[in-house]
A and B are shown apart, each in its own frame.
Chain A
Amino acid sequence: MIAYFVVGIFFGGVLTASEVISWFRIQEMFRFDAFHMYGIIGSAIVVAAISLQIIKRLGLRSATGEPIALPPKTLGSGARYAIGGTSFGIGWALTGACPGPLVALVASGAPVMLVAIASALLGTWVYGWLRPRLPH
Protein backbone atom coordinates (compact mmCIF):
# COMPACT_ATOMS: atom_id res chain seq x y z
CA MET A 1 0.00 0.00 0.00
CA ILE A 2 2.85 2.40 0.76
CA ALA A 3 4.11 1.87 -2.80
CA TYR A 4 0.79 3.16 -4.21
CA PHE A 5 0.94 6.17 -1.91
CA VAL A 6 4.47 7.04 -3.04
CA VAL A 7 3.60 6.62 -6.74
CA GLY A 8 0.53 8.80 -6.12
CA ILE A 9 2.70 11.55 -4.61
CA PHE A 10 4.87 11.42 -7.71
CA PHE A 11 1.84 11.60 -10.04
CA GLY A 12 0.29 14.50 -8.10
CA GLY A 13 3.61 16.35 -8.19
CA VAL A 14 3.97 15.92 -11.97
CA LEU A 15 0.34 16.98 -12.62
CA THR A 16 0.91 20.16 -10.61
CA ALA A 17 4.39 21.02 -11.89
CA SER A 18 3.29 20.57 -15.52
CA GLU A 19 0.17 22.72 -14.90
CA VAL A 20 -2.11 19.99 -16.27
CA ILE A 21 -4.41 20.87 -13.36
CA SER A 22 -4.89 24.44 -14.58
CA TRP A 23 -8.24 25.53 -16.05
CA PHE A 24 -6.25 27.90 -18.29
CA ARG A 25 -4.21 25.03 -19.76
CA ILE A 26 -7.37 23.07 -20.53
CA GLN A 27 -8.90 26.11 -22.27
CA GLU A 28 -5.67 26.54 -24.24
CA MET A 29 -5.88 22.87 -25.27
CA PHE A 30 -9.52 22.99 -26.42
CA ARG A 31 -8.76 26.18 -28.36
CA PHE A 32 -5.73 24.54 -30.02
CA ASP A 33 -3.54 27.49 -28.98
CA ALA A 34 -0.61 25.51 -27.55
CA PHE A 35 1.08 22.14 -27.95
CA HIS A 36 1.74 21.64 -24.21
CA MET A 37 -1.27 19.43 -23.28
CA TYR A 38 -1.14 17.48 -26.57
CA GLY A 39 2.57 16.87 -26.02
CA ILE A 40 1.91 15.59 -22.50
CA ILE A 41 -1.01 13.30 -23.37
CA GLY A 42 0.65 12.13 -26.61
CA SER A 43 4.03 11.30 -25.08
CA ALA A 44 2.32 9.65 -22.09
CA ILE A 45 0.43 7.36 -24.50
CA VAL A 46 3.61 6.51 -26.43
CA VAL A 47 5.59 5.69 -23.26
CA ALA A 48 2.70 3.65 -21.83
CA ALA A 49 2.26 1.77 -25.14
CA ILE A 50 5.97 0.91 -25.40
CA SER A 51 6.02 -0.19 -21.74
CA LEU A 52 2.98 -2.43 -22.31
CA GLN A 53 4.67 -4.04 -25.33
CA ILE A 54 7.83 -4.69 -23.29
CA ILE A 55 5.77 -6.21 -20.46
CA LYS A 56 3.88 -8.44 -22.93
CA ARG A 57 6.94 -9.54 -24.93
CA LEU A 58 8.94 -10.40 -21.83
CA GLY A 59 5.91 -11.97 -20.14
CA LEU A 60 6.68 -10.02 -16.96
CA ARG A 61 4.80 -10.70 -13.74
CA SER A 62 3.83 -8.21 -11.07
CA ALA A 63 5.73 -8.00 -7.77
CA THR A 64 2.86 -10.00 -6.28
CA GLY A 65 3.55 -12.81 -8.79
CA GLU A 66 0.42 -12.40 -10.94
CA PRO A 67 0.66 -12.47 -14.75
CA ILE A 68 0.12 -8.89 -15.91
CA ALA A 69 -2.94 -8.08 -18.02
CA LEU A 70 -4.96 -4.93 -18.64
CA PRO A 71 -8.65 -5.88 -18.58
CA PRO A 72 -10.12 -5.36 -22.09
CA LYS A 73 -13.06 -2.94 -22.21
CA THR A 74 -16.24 -4.46 -23.62
CA LEU A 75 -17.25 -2.49 -26.69
CA GLY A 76 -20.97 -3.34 -26.81
CA SER A 77 -22.90 -0.84 -28.90
CA GLY A 78 -20.32 1.81 -28.03
CA ALA A 79 -23.10 4.07 -26.72
CA ARG A 80 -21.69 4.26 -23.21
CA TYR A 81 -18.35 5.49 -24.54
CA ALA A 82 -19.89 8.04 -26.90
CA ILE A 83 -22.49 9.47 -24.49
CA GLY A 84 -20.47 9.08 -21.29
CA GLY A 85 -17.36 10.41 -23.02
CA THR A 86 -19.20 13.51 -24.27
CA SER A 87 -20.63 14.20 -20.82
CA PHE A 88 -17.17 13.82 -19.33
CA GLY A 89 -15.74 16.21 -21.95
CA ILE A 90 -18.36 18.86 -21.08
CA GLY A 91 -17.38 18.58 -17.42
CA TRP A 92 -13.68 18.58 -18.23
CA ALA A 93 -13.95 21.90 -20.11
CA LEU A 94 -16.27 23.51 -17.52
CA THR A 95 -14.21 22.63 -14.42
CA GLY A 96 -10.92 22.61 -16.32
CA ALA A 97 -10.09 19.41 -14.50
CA CYS A 98 -10.48 15.67 -14.74
CA PRO A 99 -10.72 13.54 -11.58
CA GLY A 100 -6.99 13.42 -10.66
CA PRO A 101 -6.52 17.18 -11.12
CA LEU A 102 -9.69 17.90 -9.07
CA VAL A 103 -7.95 16.32 -6.08
CA ALA A 104 -4.66 18.06 -6.87
CA LEU A 105 -6.46 21.43 -7.11
CA VAL A 106 -7.93 21.10 -3.62
CA ALA A 107 -4.38 20.51 -2.37
CA SER A 108 -2.84 23.38 -4.30
CA GLY A 109 -5.03 26.34 -3.49
CA ALA A 110 -8.53 25.84 -4.91
CA PRO A 111 -10.46 24.34 -1.97
CA VAL A 112 -13.75 25.18 -3.72
CA MET A 113 -13.00 22.15 -5.91
CA LEU A 114 -14.19 20.05 -2.95
CA VAL A 115 -17.66 21.05 -4.13
CA ALA A 116 -16.81 19.84 -7.66
CA ILE A 117 -15.66 16.50 -6.20
CA ALA A 118 -18.88 16.19 -4.15
CA SER A 119 -20.80 16.95 -7.33
CA ALA A 120 -18.78 14.33 -9.26
CA LEU A 121 -19.68 11.78 -6.56
CA LEU A 122 -23.33 12.71 -6.98
CA GLY A 123 -22.96 12.31 -10.76
CA THR A 124 -21.47 8.86 -10.24
CA TRP A 125 -24.25 7.92 -7.83
CA VAL A 126 -26.93 9.06 -10.29
CA TYR A 127 -25.24 7.00 -13.03
CA GLY A 128 -25.23 3.92 -10.77
CA TRP A 129 -28.90 4.46 -10.03
CA LEU A 130 -29.94 4.97 -13.68
CA ARG A 131 -27.54 2.34 -15.03
CA PRO A 132 -30.16 -0.40 -15.70
CA ARG A 133 -32.12 2.08 -17.85
CA LEU A 134 -29.23 3.60 -19.83
CA PRO A 135 -27.95 2.30 -23.21
CA HIS A 136 -24.53 0.61 -22.99
Chain B
Amino acid sequence: MKITPENIKDYIRQGLECEHLDVDGDGRHFEAVIVSKAFEGKGLLQQHKLVYQVLGDRMEKIHALSMKTFTPEQWAKRA
Protein backbone atom coordinates (compact mmCIF):
# COMPACT_ATOMS: atom_id res chain seq x y z
CA MET B 1 0.00 0.00 0.00
CA LYS B 2 1.29 3.39 -0.96
CA ILE B 3 1.81 5.79 1.91
CA THR B 4 0.18 9.20 1.51
CA PRO B 5 1.06 12.49 3.20
CA GLU B 6 -2.24 12.09 5.13
CA ASN B 7 -1.01 8.75 6.52
CA ILE B 8 2.18 10.35 7.77
CA LYS B 9 0.21 13.21 9.31
CA ASP B 10 -1.92 10.68 11.18
CA TYR B 11 1.11 8.71 12.36
CA ILE B 12 2.75 11.85 13.72
CA ARG B 13 -0.44 13.18 15.33
CA GLN B 14 -1.03 9.88 17.10
CA GLY B 15 2.20 10.19 19.01
CA LEU B 16 2.95 13.88 19.14
CA GLU B 17 0.81 16.86 20.01
CA CYS B 18 1.40 19.42 17.27
CA GLU B 19 0.43 23.09 17.11
CA HIS B 20 0.99 22.93 13.38
CA LEU B 21 1.63 20.02 11.03
CA ASP B 22 2.12 19.97 7.30
CA VAL B 23 3.15 16.98 5.23
CA ASP B 24 3.65 17.06 1.50
CA GLY B 25 4.87 14.29 -0.76
CA ASP B 26 4.51 12.02 -3.76
CA GLY B 27 4.41 8.61 -2.07
CA ARG B 28 8.19 8.20 -1.98
CA HIS B 29 9.56 11.54 -0.89
CA PHE B 30 7.88 13.51 1.85
CA GLU B 31 8.44 16.86 3.46
CA ALA B 32 7.09 17.64 6.89
CA VAL B 33 6.85 20.87 8.84
CA ILE B 34 6.21 20.06 12.49
CA VAL B 35 5.57 22.56 15.28
CA SER B 36 5.28 21.10 18.76
CA LYS B 37 5.71 22.10 22.37
CA ALA B 38 7.42 18.74 22.86
CA PHE B 39 10.45 20.19 21.01
CA GLU B 40 11.05 22.86 23.65
CA GLY B 41 14.44 22.58 25.31
CA LYS B 42 15.66 20.06 22.74
CA GLY B 43 18.31 20.43 20.06
CA LEU B 44 17.56 19.64 16.42
CA LEU B 45 18.93 16.12 16.71
CA GLN B 46 16.71 15.30 19.69
CA GLN B 47 13.71 16.85 17.92
CA HIS B 48 14.23 14.70 14.84
CA LYS B 49 14.80 11.62 17.00
CA LEU B 50 11.50 12.28 18.72
CA VAL B 51 9.66 12.29 15.38
CA TYR B 52 11.45 9.10 14.30
CA GLN B 53 10.46 7.46 17.59
CA VAL B 54 6.83 8.39 16.99
CA LEU B 55 7.00 6.95 13.46
CA GLY B 56 8.80 3.83 14.73
CA ASP B 57 8.85 0.84 12.37
CA ARG B 58 6.75 2.76 9.86
CA MET B 59 9.95 4.62 8.92
CA GLU B 60 10.96 1.48 7.01
CA LYS B 61 8.01 1.99 4.64
CA ILE B 62 8.65 5.71 4.30
CA HIS B 63 11.36 5.93 1.69
CA ALA B 64 12.48 9.47 2.38
CA LEU B 65 11.25 12.03 4.86
CA SER B 66 12.67 15.50 5.06
CA MET B 67 11.59 17.48 8.10
CA LYS B 68 11.69 20.93 9.57
CA THR B 69 10.96 21.10 13.28
CA PHE B 70 10.03 24.18 15.32
CA THR B 71 8.93 25.03 18.82
CA PRO B 72 5.76 27.18 18.90
CA GLU B 73 7.93 30.16 19.85
CA GLN B 74 10.30 29.66 16.90
CA TRP B 75 7.34 29.16 14.59
CA ALA B 76 5.67 32.40 15.74
CA LYS B 77 8.85 34.38 15.18
CA ARG B 78 9.21 32.89 11.74
CA ALA B 79 5.68 33.64 10.51
Partners in one complex: no
| A contact set with B: CB distance below 8 Å | none
| B contact set with A: CB distance below 8 Å | none
